[in-house]
Amino acid sequence: MSEGFEPKIVAFACNWCAYSAADLAGVSRFQYPPNMRIIRVMCSGRINPNFILKAFDSGADGVLVAG
Amino acid sequence: MEKCIACGSCAEKCPKKVDDPFNENLAKRKAIYVDYAQAVPLKYAINKDECIYFQKGKCRACEKLCPTKAINFEDKEEKVVLQAGAVILAAGFKPFDPSIFPTYQYTSFENVVTSIEYERILSATGPYQGHLARPSDHDKENKKEPRKIGWLQCVGSRDINKCDHPYCSSVCCMYAIKEATISKEHADYDLDTAIFFMDMRTYGKDFEKYYERAKEKGVRFVRTRLHTLEEDPVTKDITVRYVDEQGNIQVETFDMMVLSVGMETPKELVETAKNLGVAVDSDNFAETGIFTPVETSRKGIYVCGAFQEPKDIPYSVMEASAAACGAKEGLSSARGTLVKERTYPEETDVSFQEPKIGVFVCNCGINIGSVVDVPAVVEYARTLPGVSYVEEGLFVCSQDTQEKMKELIKKEGLNRVIVAACTPRTHEPLFQETLRDAGLNKYLFEMANIRNQCSWVHTKEKPEATEKAKDLVRMAAARAQLIQPLPQPTIGVDTKALVIGGGVSGMTAALGLAEQGFHTYLIEQSNRLGGNALMLSKTWRGDDIQAHLAEMISKVSAHSLIDVYTEATIKGATGFVGNYETTVSRNNEDTTLKHGAVIVAVGAEEFKPKEYLYGEDNRVMTHLELDEAMKKGEISGIKTAVFIQCVGSREPERPYCSKVCCTHTVKSALKLKEMDPEAKVYVIYRDIRTYGQREELYKEARDRGVIFIRYSLDGKPRVEKAGSAISVTIKDHILFRDIAINPDLVVLAAGIIPRDNNSLAQMFKLSLNEDGFFMEAHAKLRPVEFATDGIFLAGMAHYPKPIEESIAQAKAAASRASVVLSKETLTVEGVVSHVNEVLCRGCGKCVEACPFNAINLMEREDGRIVANVQEAMCKGCGSCSVACPTGAASIFHYDDQEVLTMVEAAFN
C-alpha cells in the first residue's frame, strides 16, 4: 500500500443505535479519522446487499454496516 | 437555560477542576458541567460552591466564551408551585456507603472499590475510558492490568450487625455476575474473577441461565463470607482468608476487590416522605400493601422503584407504569382538558414541481464554524444541482431563523429544505415543524450532520472536515431531489379493551382500565374468576388472600364497564393496534368483540412433581395442596415436616427459578412453627431466594428454629418409604454426613410452569421464550409490552411472580394500554413500507422478515395472493424491501434509489 493512502469508507448506520452512537461520539468529542461518510437508515435490516456493492463500485475501500 | 446549546466551550475553558461525582469521584470535571453526556436536558450548569467567580469574585471565563450568551450569574433559585391531582414518588435509592466497615478498609485501600465505581471503570465514558485498570496505579507508568478481581456480595444488605439493613437488596447478585462476565469479555487475557456470596439470588426471568453461562465462562462462585481484607502496602493487592465449603482455610490475593453494595433510602427522602405524610417502614421504604403495591399511605400519592423496596430495572419500570395507572384512575375525568391542539396551514402540493432546494448551513456558534469553513461549504452548496437558495446562519435552530426560514420558503418558492448543522435525532422535529408552518410536507426536509459527526470529531483536521461537510451536503442535496411528500393518514381507535385471563392479573388489568373509563371485556376459560389465587391462603406479609380476592371479584363483577365472559375461549383474532376483532367462544356460541388493545394475562400453573413419592403417599404434597389443606383445617399435629426446594425448577429441563417458592416455603414453615413451636421443620434448599424484604421472614424462620440444609443438584435428597413412615435422607452440608429425617409431612416446592400458550401466541402473533412464557418487547425497558403494538402482557404469563408483582405488572399493562385507548385516532407515520401489487407474487418473504407483524398475505378480488402492509403497525425499518425478491416491497423515504443516490453522491 502506498504511503498516504486514505481509504474511503461508507457507513450505513441504524437511526436507533449506531447513528445515535456516532452522535454521542461527537458529544463526547472522540476523535477519529475523517474518512467515513455516514448514511442514516431506519434499521440495519434495511441494508440491501446491493447498497454495499454499489458503495464498492462507486469507489469505497470499506463499507461499515452498523446497527 | 433556553440559550444553552450544550457546545461545551464553557467547560473546556473553565479553569476549575473538581471531582466528578457521576464518575464516583474517580475522574475530574469542571465547575461548569453537565452531569453526563446523555443528560436530559443537555444544559450546562455552574456549581456555585466550586466556581471561582462565586467563591473569589473573579473569572467569568465561561461568560466570555459562551457563543449564545447563555451564562447568567444572576440566576436565583426559584420556588415553583405546581397544581397536581396526583403525586408519584420515584426518588430511587442511594448506594450503601461501605466506609463504616473497618475490616474492608474501603476508604484506605485504593483497590477496594464499590460496584458502582466498578461500573464507571468498565464504562467507555468512565474515568479510564473503559480500560480495565486499578485506581492505585491507573495513571502510573508501571501500571498493572488486573489479572484477578473478586466481588464481595451482601455489603450493606442482609446485615443487622453493622448496618441495620435486614433486607436483601435484590439486584447485587445479578450485577456482580454481569460485571464479572463483562470484565472477562473485556480482558484480552485470562482474567480470573471470583464472586464471594451467601445465596446466589438469580430469581428473575432468564437470570438463572445467565448465572449458568457465567459459570461456563469460568466465573468462580465461592460460597463464603469474607470477614477481612488485607492490603499489601507495596503492590496494593488485596489478600483474603476464608473457609471454603469443605471447611478448609484458603488464602487468595486479588488485584482488585469489588464491594457489591446494596441499596438504601437516602435520609433526605425519608424526610420528604415525612413532609408529604407518606409512611415509611422500619427499613425506610415507603409502606405499601401486597394488593396495593404502588399506593402509599396517603391517598393520591403513589410510589415506584427502589423507594418501595429494592428492585431491578424491569420491576421499577413496571411499577412506574402502575403508579401512572393509579394516578390516571383518579384523574380520568380531567384527561385531555389541558391539551392545546396545534393547527397548520394547508399543505402546498409540490409533487409536480421541479426540486427547489434551500440549504441552511449552521455555524452553531463556533462549534462548526471553528473547524469547518462554513462560507466555503455555503459557496459549494450553491453549485449543487437543484439548489436554488443557500444561507449561512450563526444558529439555524434559533426561533428568529425559523421565522426567516418560513418567509424564505414562501418568497423563494422552496420545496425542499436542507439544514446542515447538528443531528436529525435532536433537531429534525423542530425544522419539520417550521416546514409544516410554511405549508410544506414535513418529509420534504433533510439534514446534513456536520457537527456531531464532523466538526466535533475532526477538530484537528480542519481542511478534511470542511471537505467532509461538503460531501455530506452534496449527499443530502442528491437525496433531497428524490424525496417526496408523504401522507400521514389517521385511523380510528376503538376505545374498548380485551383482557385474556381472569386471575389476579387479569382482574387488576380490567379494573385499571375500567376505572380509567375504558370498556373492558374480561375472558376467563374456567367457570369462575380468581385463577391460582383461589388456592392460596396468606401472603408473605400475612394478608388474607381469599378476603382480598373476594373483594376484587365482586368489584369486577359489579363494574358497569367490565363484561365478564367465563367458560370462554379465544377462537381467532384479526386486526391491528386500535382495531382488533377477536372471536370468543362460549357455550358453543361465537361472539366477535371489537376492541383497540389486548392484555394477555393467562397466568401459569404449578408443576406436578414426578419424584419424592409425590402421588404415592398423601403426606407428600405441593405448596398449593398444603395451602388448600391448611384452609380446610386438615393440617394438624405435625411433629416433623420437611420442605424440599427447587422441585422441577433450576434443573436442566427447566433451567429457571420459579421465584415464589422460597418465600412460600419460609412462610409455611413459620405457620407450622406457629401451630406447634416444638415441631421440627426442615428446609432442604439450594439457595434461599427470599429477595427484598422477604429476607426478614427468612431470618425469623431461623430464629424460630427452622433448620435449613443445603443440597446441590448432584446430591438431591432421597425420599423413601420405611414401612409406614417416610424417610428423607440428605447429606448435611456442615457435617458431611447423611442424615435421615422421618417426617409426617413433606412439602415439595414445585416450580411454576407456563400454560400451553402456543395457540394464543399464534393468533396474536406473539413470541414465547424457550421455557414457554410470553416474550416481552424488551426485557428491561418494555416489560409489559409486546413487539406488536396494542398488545400487552401481565402476570405469570410473563414469568413466575408473587401477587404484588403480578398486580403491579397488570396495572402497568392497563396504563400502557390506555395510552392507545385514550386517543381518538392514531397518526400513521409517513416512513412506512408499501407493496407494488403488480410486482408482488405473494411469496411471503416480507411477512417472514417483518419484525412487527405488519405484513400479511391477502387474496385480491382476482384471486391473486399479494402482500398487504398494515401501515399502522409498520415502523419503517425496511426489512421487507430487502427480503422481497421482486422489488415489490419498498419503503417510503428510504427507497433503494434514495439510498443508492446517496452512496453515489458520497464519491462525486
**pLDDT per residue as tens digits for the range B130-149:** 899 999 999 999 899 999 99
What is the structure's pLDDT at B162? 83
B424·A34 Cβ contact <8 A = no
What is the Cα Rg of chain B in Å?
A: 32
Nearest to B656 by CA among B715, B699, B604: B604
Give yes or no for B906 touching A (CB within 8 A): yes
pLDDT score recorded for residue B908: 73
CB B301 within 8 Å of CB B87:
yes
- Cite the DSSP H helix spans in B66-193: 115-122, 172-186
Q: Which of residues 21-40 of B touch A (CB under 8 A)?
A: 37-38
Predicted confidence at residue A2, as pLDDT, reads 52
Q: Sketch out chain B's domains with CATH numbers.
A: 9-81 (no CATH), 95-263 (3.50.50.60), 267-331 (no CATH), 357-480 (3.40.50), 497-603+755-826 (3.50.50.60), 606-753 (3.50.50.60), 828-905 (3.30.70.3270)
Interface test with A, best of B30, B453, B884 (most A CBs within 10 A): B453
Helix, coil or strand: residue B679: coil
The number of helix segments (H) and strand segments (E) in chain B equals: 22, 44
In the Cβ-directed half-sphere of B372, how many Cα atoms lie within 13 Å?
Answer: 38
A12, A16, A23: which to substitute to probe chain B, counting the most B Cβ within 10 Å? Answer: A23
Q: Say if residues B167 and B269 touch (Cβ distance below 8 Å).
A: no
Are B417 and B362 a contacting pair, CB within 8 Å?
A: no
Q: State CA B655 to chain mean position distance.
A: 23
Measure the CA–CA gap between B902 and B894, rounded to whole angstroms: 10
Choose among B168, B130, B172, B132: nearest CA to B152. Answer: B172
B351-to-B411, B441, B487, B578 alpha-carbon distances in Å: 19, 10, 12, 31
CA B583 from centre of chain: 33
pLDDT digits (tens, 9 = 90+) for B94-115: 999 999 999 999 999 999 999 9
- Sign of dihedral through CA atoms B98, B103, B109, B115? negative
Cα B67 from chain centre: 38
- As a dihedral over the C-alpha atoms of residue B502, residue B506, residue B507, residue B509, rounded to 10 degrees, the angle is -160
Span B666-683, pLDDT tens digits:
999 999 999 999 999 999
Question: What is the residue type of B637?
Answer: G
Give me the residue from A26, A45, A48 closest to B456, CB to CB.
Answer: A26
Q: Which residues pair with B581 in a beta bridge?
A: B574, B594
Segment B614-660, tens digit of pLDDT: 999 999 999 999 999 998 999 999 999 999 999 999 999 999 999 99
Query: Are B524 and B565 a contacting pair, CB within 8 Å?
Result: yes
Helix or strand run (H / E) with residue B554: helix B545-558
Q: Return d(Cα B253, Cα B416) in angstroms, integer.
A: 66
- φ, ψ dihedrals at A9, nearest 5°: -125, 130
- The secondary element (H helix, E strand) that includes residue A57 is helix A49-58
Distance of CA B827 to the CA centre of its chain: 26
Which residue from A minimizes the CA distance to B906?
Answer: A37
Amino acid B81: pLDDT: 97
Question: Phi and psi (nearest 5°) for B485?
Answer: -65, 140
Tell me how crowded residue B239 is: count the other CB atoms within 10 A of its CB.
Answer: 15
Report, as an integer, the average pLDDT of B281-285.
97
pLDDT at B37 over 80: no
B125 has pLDDT over 60: yes
**Please, what's the b/e burial string for B514-536 (b: 16 or more CB within 10 A of its CB; e: otherwise)?**
bbbbbbbbbbbbeeebbbbbbbb
Contacts of B850 in chain A (CB under 8 A): none
Mean pLDDT of chain B: 95
> Which one-letter DSSP state was computed for residue B452?
I
Q: Is the predicted pLDDT of residue B36 greater than 60, yes or no?
A: yes
pLDDT at B358: 97
Alpha helices (runs of H) in B676-802, residue ranges in sequence order = 695-703, 758-763
Contact in structure between B451 and B424 (CB atoms under 8 Å):
no
pTM for the full predicted model: 0.89
One-character DSSP codes across B457-498: T-TT-HHHHHHHHHHHHHHHHHHHTT-------EEE----EE
Cell 384523574, residue?
B331
Which among B37, B426, B896 has CB closest to A48?
A: B896
Rounded distance between C-alpha atoms, residue B108 and residue B33, angstroms? 29
β-pair partners for B841: none
Fill in the DSSP letter of residue B453.
Answer: I
- Say yes or no: B777 contacts chain A, CB-CB below 8 A: no
Across B382-394, average pLDDT: 96
Q: How far is A43 from chain B (nearest CA, A)?
A: 5
* CB-based contact B423:B449 (threshold 8 Å): yes
Is A1's pLDDT higher than 50?
no
Give the Cα separation of B692 and B700 in Å (integer).
14
Write the pLDDT tens digit of every residue in B187-239: 989 999 999 999 999 999 999 999 999 999 999 999 999 989 999 999 999 99
In contact, A24 and B422? CB cutoff 8 Å = no
- Mean pLDDT in chain A? 92
In contact, B480 and B359? CB cutoff 8 Å: no
The answer to whether residues B626 and B668 touch, using CB atoms and an 8 Å cutoff, is: yes
| Nearest Cα residue in chain A from B8 | A27
* DSSP reduced 3-state for B593: strand
User: CA-to-CA distance for B760 and B512, rounded, in angstroms?
Assistant: 23
What are the DSSP E strand ranges found in B758-801?
791-793
Which of B451, B458, B903 has the CB atom closest to A34's CB atom?
B458
State which H helix or E strand residue B339 sits in: none
Residue B812's alpha-carbon distances to B92, B183, B290, B295, B800, in angstroms, are: 18, 35, 15, 13, 17
Q: What residues are paired with B227 via a beta bridge? A: none
- Cα–Cα separations (whole angstroms), residue B846 to B286, B765, B866, B890: 50, 15, 11, 10
> Residues of chain A whose C-beta is under 8 A from some C-beta in B?
8, 10, 15, 19-20, 22-34, 37-43, 45-48, 50-51, 54-55, 58-60
Task: List pLDDT tens digits, range B715-754.
Answer: 999 999 999 999 999 999 888 899 999 999 999 999 999 9
For residue B829, how far is the Cα from the chain centroid?
Answer: 25
Size of interface A-B (CB pairs under 8 A): 121
Mean pLDDT of B786-801: 96
Q: What is the DSSP string of B167-212?
A: S--SSHHHHHHHHHHHHHHH-SS--EEEEEESS----STTHHHHHH
- The edge-to-edge listing of strands for the beta sheet with B416-421 is B387-393, B357-362, B416-421, B445-449
Q: pLDDT by residue (tens digit) across B602-614?
A: 999 999 999 999 9
B460 close contact with A: CB closer than 8 A: yes
Determine the pLDDT at residue B621. 97
Residues across chain B: 908
**B903 at the A interface (CB within 8 A)?**
yes
Residue B88 CA to residue B326 CA, distance in Å, equals 9
Average pLDDT over residues A25-39: 92
d(Cα B416, Cα B440) in Å, to the nearest integer? 8
Condensed to tens digits (0 to 9), the pLDDT of residues B61-74 reads 999 989 889 999 99
**Contacts (Cβ under 8 Å, ≥6 apart) of B702:** B708
DSSP-derived pairing of the beta strands A9-14 and A62-66: parallel
pLDDT digits (tens, 9 = 90+) for B504-551: 999 999 999 999 999 999 999 999 999 999 999 999 999 999 999 999
CB B830 within 8 A of CB B819: no
| Partners of residue B194 on adjacent β-strands | B150, B220
SS3 assignment, position B568? strand
